[in-house]
Amino acid sequence: MVTGWHRPTWIEIDRAAIRENIKNEQKQLPENVALWAVVKANAYGHGIIEVAKTAKEAGAKGFCVAILDEALALREAGFQDDFILVLGATKKEDANLAAKNQIALTVFREDWLDDLVLEAPLRIHLKVDSGMGRLGIRSTEEAGRIETKIARNKELELEGIYTHFATADQLETSYFEQQLANFTAILTSLATRPAIVHTANSAASLLQPQIGFDAIRFGISMYGLTPSPEIKTSLPFELKPALALYTEMVHVKELAPGDSVSYGATYTATEREWVATLPIGYADGLIRHYSGFHVLVDGQLAPIIGRVCMDQTIIKLPHEFQTGSKVTIIGVDHGNTITADDAAEYLDTINYEVTCLLTERIPRKYIH
């Protein structure tokens, strides 16, 4: 994708916030539990390579990604010896590519292991479906057969076993506890306990630090965001959001009563009012549902009026502004804040989606 370096719309990533979130989380963890930085999906929109560097500086002991290509991107960027685990499904045809690059893969089907001819050792993490219903084995019998198959192939090492919780971000814990019990039953049925047992995402690691096992997969909260609004006030430390989204007014004008703006002419001025056009739109991830939400100008709320276009958006100003004035879409401006949580609430989605949606057309600038 082409990045808009010559357009005044940018994302600022505060590396210090990422380091602080990691350090605060490490203080909660028993010393022998490793923190892995989850950097899938371009690090939840924050930029995979720079986030990986920052996380490593702060003490992350490895990385989790969703797809093999993300793991290869880390290797290419110079993360030569770091632990990398692919959490999603990888095609059997690509097993050798992973093996040659020392990338650990998730396995959750017996047949994936049949007729696997490897040219290099491959580390495997067995995924258990303890209740998420997504990927994973579901019985002790399957676990036993997979353990046997892995033992028969001298290039395969069962390095890890893990599961993923469906409700760790809820205060009610009965489903979580059932999942933990299901997972433990499969874990203890194995002839040999793999070296790395891991279960916790951000929510579980923050609320249930005792179930860290050997490693945690720390994603959303590394970026300073709460795993859910419900647990925001139960978190053990204050999270520092790392991402801010800014743009500048490229055109400012005064509307007369009856003047309309944008496609469909859905907004019409009822009095004389100042408006500004912003060089950001749904192709950048500022989706059309942002229409009616607001941004910050000089610390004041300015509503998004009319329909958000592909590359441009129009806001209503409290008074005349100079062309080139800064606009905060997510972030802090003169003591007022718009968070990814605020945007998520308005859009009826989750903060994860708000940052993941921000496309690579917006340049990322790294501070601190």
Ligand X SMILES: *Cc1c(COP(=O)(O)O)cnc(C)c1O
Q: Which residue is nearest to ligand X (CB)?
A: 219
Per-residue x/- mask for ligand X, residues 33 to 72, rule CB under 6 A?
-----x-x--------------------------------
- β partners of residue 366: 13
**Contact status: 351 vs ligand X (CB under 6 A):** no
Handedness of CA 43, 211, 171, 21 (dihedral sign): negative
End-to-end CA distance of the chain: 26
**Contact status: 227 vs ligand X (CB under 6 A):** yes
Among 4, 47, 136, 219, binds ligand X (CB under 6 A): 219
DSSP element (H, E) containing 336: strand 336-338
Which residues contact residue 109 at a Cβ distance below 8 angstroms, ignoring those fewer than 6 apart? 137
**Contact status: 11 vs ligand X (CB under 6 A):** no
- Can 267 be counted among the known catalytic residues? no
Give me the catalytic one of 23, 91, 232, 263.
263
Answer whether 178's CB lies under 8 Å from 131's CB: yes
Structure-derived torsion over alpha carbons of residues 15, 88, 74, 30, reported in degrees to the nearest 10 = 50
Write out the binding residues for ligand X, residues 256-275 only, by CB under 6 A.
none
Which one of the spans 51-59, 187-195, 215-223, 289-297 is the region binding ligand X (CB under 6 A)? 215-223
- Can 282 be counted among the known catalytic residues? no
Q: Which residues are annotated as a binding site for substrate?
A: 134, 310
Q: Which one, of 286, 214, 224, lies nearest residue 43 by Cα?
A: 224
CB atoms under 10 Å from CB of 233, counted, come to 8
**Contact status: 220 vs ligand X (CB under 6 A):** yes
Q: Whole-angstrom Cα distance, residue 262 to residue 264?
A: 6
Q: Tokens 């001025």 belong to which residue?
A: 269
The least distance separating ligand X from the CB of residue 106, rounded to whole angstroms, comes to: 8
Answer whether 148's CB lies under 8 Å from 105's CB: no
- β partners of residue 345: none
Write out the binding residues for ligand X, residues 149-208 only, by CB under 6 A.
164, 201-203
Q: Tokens 């010559």 belong to which residue?
A: 6
Which residues contact residue 166 at a Cβ distance below 8 angstroms, ignoring those fewer than 6 apart? 131, 132, 133, 175, 179
If the CB atoms of residues 64 and 280 are measured against ligand X, the closer one turns out to be 64
Which one of the spans 6-14, 189-197, 214-222, 331-339 is the region binding ligand X (CB under 6 A)? 214-222
If the CB atoms of residues 295 and 344 are measured against ligand X, the closer one turns out to be 344
Per-residue x/- mask for ligand X, residues 105 to 124, rule CB under 6 A?
--------------------
Give me the catalytic one of 40, 127, 149, 316.
40
Write out the binding residues for ligand X, residues 69-98 only, by CB under 6 A.
87
Residues assigned a catalytic role:
40, 263
Binding site for ligand X (CB under 6 A): 38, 40, 87, 164, 201-203, 217-220, 227
